Amino acid sequence: MNRHHTLAWIACSVVTLASIASASAQHQHTTGPMSDEDIIKSAMTAAPPAIVKDATIVDVSADGKTRVVRKGTNGFTCLPDSPSTPGPDPMCGDQNAMEWAQAWIGKKEPPKNKVGFLYMLAGGTDASNTDPHAEKPEPNNNWVETGPHVMIVGAKGMMEGYPRAAKPDTTKPYVMWPDTPYEHLMLPVQMPETATR
């Protein structure tokens, strides 16, 4: 449900992540704390190895407190899967996406002229495709199921030609939350299978 990116930084990203955690159950751990090793292992499934190996990894507790588990150097921040959500949802993003996510969670106008990128290669928690703040499926909120994907956020007005349907085909690129300040491009990806020889 959520998408975010990183850094000027670690201080800025931690503040951002605290805001995200307090407003969204997506990143609240309700089944008990994970070990640092498990947090890192989970967070590293969010993006390609070249990104996650040098990314900052942050954990968010059920009470919204954040903790840097591992400092990174490449401007990306990654979060582990949240045990409180039904599907896998580790994510990894750059600073612009984190600022966008903070605006979304705070119901504020997203930053202008800051395109961000988010990875969710392990999948994502399902969400409404039309209501940016829906917390559960309702008869008319167009709930969608998402698999592994990446997101381009902060590009409102630059997604001409991509489907904007309330009920999109989630196996193809589409605009999520169209005609809202938080519209963004969803790009489904499939992890390559290991070839057998």
Tell me which DSSP letter residue 173 carries.
Answer: -
pLDDT of residue 192: 53
Question: What whole-number distance in Å separates Cα of residue 127 and Cα of residue 90?
Answer: 15
pTM over 0.85: no
Q: Which two tokens stand for residue 93?
A: 């993003």
Cα–Cα separations (whole angstroms), residue 115 to 7, 18, 154, 170: 14, 22, 4, 22
Question: 108 near 77, Cβ under 8 Å?
Answer: no
Annotated domain spans of the chain: 10-188
Determine the Cα–Cα distance for residues 8 and 21; give it in Å rounded to an integer. Answer: 20
pLDDT at 29: 40
Cβ density class 39-54: b for 16+ within 10 Å, e for less: bbebbbbbbeeebbee
Tens-digit pLDDT string for the chain (197 aa): 333 332 222 223 333 343 344 333 333 444 457 899 999 999 999 999 999 999 999 998 777 788 999 999 999 999 998 776 667 789 999 999 989 988 988 899 999 999 999 999 998 777 889 999 988 888 888 988 888 999 999 999 899 999 999 999 999 999 999 999 999 999 999 755 543 44
N-terminal to C-terminal alpha carbon distance within the chain: 38
Q: What is the pLDDT of residue 107?
A: 94
d(CA 50, CA 100): 23
Phi, psi dihedral angles at 107 (to 5 degrees) = 55, 40
